[in-house]
Amino acid sequence: MKIIDTKSEIENQLQGYRKKGETIGLVPTMGALHEGHASLVKKCVAENDISIVSLFVNPTQFNNKEDLRLYPRTPEKDYELLEKLGVDYVFSPSVEEMYPEEDKRVFDFGQLEKVMEGEFRPGHFNGVAQIVSKLFAIIKPDNAYFGEKDFQQLAIVRDMVRQLFMPVNVVGMPIIRESNGLAMSSRNQRLSAEQRKNASEIYKVLKESKLLIGDYSPAELTDYVTGSINNIPDLQIEYFQIVDGDNLQQVTEWSDSDYIVGCIAVFCGDVRLIDNIRYK
């Protein structure tokens, strides 16, 4: 496994593989890797001739400077895991390497970016699109792997690829959970043992809510989930929205769509956690 920190070197390394027609897979990450990332990496290694994982904490997608400062960084541990998983290249650039000058591009994702994360984290998805488009332009992957925990991000990346006519197959992978049901996230490292126990209730409430869709309208179920989460110590809900899984717009009736997902953001202390559940 080679660790590379410059755009020019990774481009040079990959040129030969492309000429030979070998497939290139990319898993973009911000490091602090866990089993959720590992599931993406295993799929990438299995499905491509050459596998690449990027480790880069992207400043332009953080609208909270304190969140950026506190974001966990564990590069040596990450390298060790990736070596075990059989990754060919790690691309681990500096901020200066990726942003030699300010990226002033502004993307328009229409209604996709105006709800949920887009509403509560203004500018976040523009930053995601900036960095992912840069990585795709440098690495030119055939396949790129993203987790479905970041459900809205996956929709945004797919829309970005369509807008920019990038020949990248974007692969979504199921949420990986801890044994207590908590969706795996790098941010979980910041939770105390008690907070982690309380945070595991998020998924329990989501699973319970799925059993109620025959009796509750989407609006009633939203109230049920919000009230249930806010009654758990340490937890404060930021949003819970029941949306069409394709366009992310809220549904008012279960018959509005054949693909309906409940998406949630919850503060556990000062740590922000997201999760989702498919209803139909």
CA distance 261 to 245: 6
Signed CA dihedral, 30, 36, 38, 40: sign only: negative
What is the C-alpha to C-alpha distance for residues 252 and 243, in angstroms, rounded to an integer?
Answer: 9
Q: In whole angstroms, give the CA distance from residue 19 to residue 200.
A: 48
- Largest alpha-carbon pair distance within the chain? 59
DSSP 115: S
The yes-or-no answer on residue 34 being catalytic is no
Catalytic option among 24, 34, 36, 37: 37
Bridge partners of residue 27, in order along the sequence: 53
**């328009």: which residue's tokens?**
108
CA distance 4 to 264: 36
Report helix, strand or coil for 145: strand
- Cβ of 277: how many Cβ atoms within 10 Å? 20
CB atoms within 10 A of CB 126: 20
SS (H, E, C) 38-83: HHHHHHHHHHCCEEEEEECCCHHHCCCHHHHHHCCCCHHHHHHHHH
Instruction: State the catalytic residues.
Output: 37
